[in-house]
């Protein structure tokens, strides 16, 4: 079976190399179809690559070649990936992508074309890199009503927070180290401001709850404002700070979804997920909690997920894998400020307000302590309440905290 790869960067080259390296077993697992890379589309030349003879620069060569049944999209970005993938699906080719930006923004449209053309659009690598999560949710956990997903979905921010927690490293120094190690981009915005995790939780929420959830409907906050004092206060609360993507069904059948740094109790399975590792907790009505853990990025883990999807396409030529969701439902996303949570609150007390009075005002269950805290600073753990109620109490007390974080229950 002929395949093409669009984008010969880190992941695309990993896909080509993995197909060559494990060719015999991949053929066996593709029901004796030998996967042959016919084209690799890229703007660049790769004169030193063993795949140099396959490099092409014209997308139409792939589109118009009837012998190419499956195309891998590892270009990244929205354009021209969206136009290319749409055209390929329209032409009756199956497409496998690692591109979370594409799936989060255009998943519904692309899945619809795939359904109409009886081909497959698979994207296991778009969330959690090498961690199996899309297929387990859509197949292995298909008997469950999934009530909640909570994930450490971004390796770069998890690396930075781990350095802050375990080595007392300041945010800026940890970010610099992540860049030097090649985890964070030169422009780290998508990672540190939570947009990458947002795209991933949107894909998971769409899959679990059956309607497309768009990134711009998700309250998203990154980790730039987390300080070493927050990390220390969290430790006094028996917790660590993790950037989570959370999606949960509310009692009124809405979707509560957000990305933000949260206090996670040290006893939680998510608390011990360190460095660039990712973990995704899925809560189903029959299974209870199940946690998927592993490498969420990188050449080989991501290629592992992409090639598995290509094998699945090979096994389902002319047949559809059931992987689908619907249009968004108006009003389905809950107002996050009306969902009760326990909160961590830290800030400088105004003149005349004692720590005890501030604690009483917001229904605090604990006043947190760290050595060498600024004299007028207080950090509190509140009882469960809505953010609206919390902010009203804070305003009434005249207390404007620097940091408000949710506290999770898993
Ligand atoms: N920048 C991403 C991360 C790569 O750090 O997790 C994988 O999507």
Phi/psi of residue 374, nearest 5 degrees: -55, 145
Q: Relative to the CA of 200, which ligand 1 atom is closest?
A: 8
Cα–ligand 1 centroid distance for 110 (angstroms): 23
Q: Would you state the pLDDT for residue 185? A: 75
pLDDT at position 174: 97
Three-state SS sequence of 43-58? CCCCCCCCCHHHEECC
Top mutation candidate among 98, 154, 203 for ligand 1, by most atoms within 8 Å of CB: 154
pLDDT in tens, 202-212: 999 999 999 99
Cα(331) to centroid(ligand 1), Å: 30
Contacts of 88 (CB under 8 A, 6+ apart): 62, 63, 71, 95
Using DSSP bridges, classify how beta strands 2-6 and 68-73 pair: parallel, antiparallel or unpaired: parallel
Query: For this structure, is 100 an active site residue?
Result: no
Pocket test for ligand 1, best of 159, 297, 304 (most atoms within 8 A of CB): 297
* pLDDT recorded at residue 89: 98
pLDDT of residue 182: 85
Write the DSSP string, 288-357.
EEEEEEEE-SSHHHHHHHHHHHHHHHHHTTTS------BPPPTT-B--GGGS-BEEEEEEEPPTT--HHH
Give the Å distance between the CA of 52 and the centre of ligand 1: 28
Q: What is the pLDDT of residue 104?
A: 98
Residues with CB under 6 A from ligand 1: 129, 154-156, 183, 191, 196, 296-297
> Rounded CA gap, 161 and 7, in Å?
31
Task: For residue 123, give both structure tokens.
Answer: 């994207």
Give the pLDDT of residue 410.
87
Sequence-distant (≥ 6) Cβ neighbours of residue 282 within 8 angstroms: 136, 137, 141, 146, 148, 149, 208, 289, 290, 291, 292
Exactly one of 93, 100, 200, 321 is catalytic; name it: 200
Q: What is the pLDDT of residue 186?
A: 79
Q: How far is the CA of 265 from the centre of ligand 1 (A)?
A: 24
Q: Which residues of the chain have pLDDT under 50?
A: none
CB 341 within 8 A of CB 382: no
């Amino acid at each position: 079976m002929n395949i093409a790869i669009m984008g010969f960067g880190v992941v695309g080259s990993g896909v080509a190399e993995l197909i060559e390296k494990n060719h015999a077993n991949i053929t066996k697992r593709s029901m004796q179809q030998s996967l042959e890379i016919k084209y690799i589309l890229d703007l660049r030349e790769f004169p030193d690559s063993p795949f140099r003879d396959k490099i092409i620069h014209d997308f139409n060569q792939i589109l118009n070649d009837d012998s190419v049944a499956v195309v891998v999209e590892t270009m990244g970005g929205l354009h021209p990936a969206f136009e290319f993938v749409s055209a390929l699906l329209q032409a009756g080719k199956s497409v496998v992508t690692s591109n979370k930006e594409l799936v989060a923004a255009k998943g519904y449209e692309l899945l619809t074309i795939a359904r109409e053309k009886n081909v497959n659009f698979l994207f296991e690598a778009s969330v959690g890199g090498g961690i199996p999560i899309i297929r387990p949710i859509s197949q292995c956990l298909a008997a469950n009503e999934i009530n909640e997903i909570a994930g450490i979905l971004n390796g770069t921010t998890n690396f930075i927070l781990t350095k802050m927690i375990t080595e007392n490293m300041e945010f800026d120094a940890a970010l610099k180290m992540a860049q030097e190690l090649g985890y964070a981009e030169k422009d780290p915005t998508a990672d540190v401001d939570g947009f990458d995790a947002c795209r991933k939780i949107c894909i998971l929420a769409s899959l679990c709850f059956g309607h497309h959830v768009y990134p711009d409907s998700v309250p998203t906050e990154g980790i730039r404002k987390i300080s070493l004092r927050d990390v220390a206060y969290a430790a006094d609360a028996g917790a660590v700070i993790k950037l989570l993507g959370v999606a949960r069904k509310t009692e009124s059948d809405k979707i509560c979804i957000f990305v933000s740094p949260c206090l996670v109790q040290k006893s939680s399975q998510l608390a011990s997920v360190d460095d660039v590792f990712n973990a995704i907790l899925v809560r189903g009505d029959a299974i209870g909690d199940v946690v998927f853990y592993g490498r969420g990025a990188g050449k080989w883990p991501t290629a592992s997920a992409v090639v598995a999807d290509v094998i699945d396409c090979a096994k389902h030529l002319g047949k559809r894998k059931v992987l689908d969701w619907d249009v968004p439902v108006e009003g389905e996303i809950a107002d996050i400020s009306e969902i009760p949570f326990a909160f961590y609150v830290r800030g400088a007390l105004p003149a005349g307000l004692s720590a005890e009075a501030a604690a009483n005002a917001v229904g605090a269950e604990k006043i947190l302590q760290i050595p060498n805290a600024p004299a007028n600073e207080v950090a509190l753990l509140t009882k469960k309440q809505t953010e609206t109620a919390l902010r009203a109490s804070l305003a009434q007390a005249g207390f404007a905290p620097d940091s408000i974080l949710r506290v999770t229950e898993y």
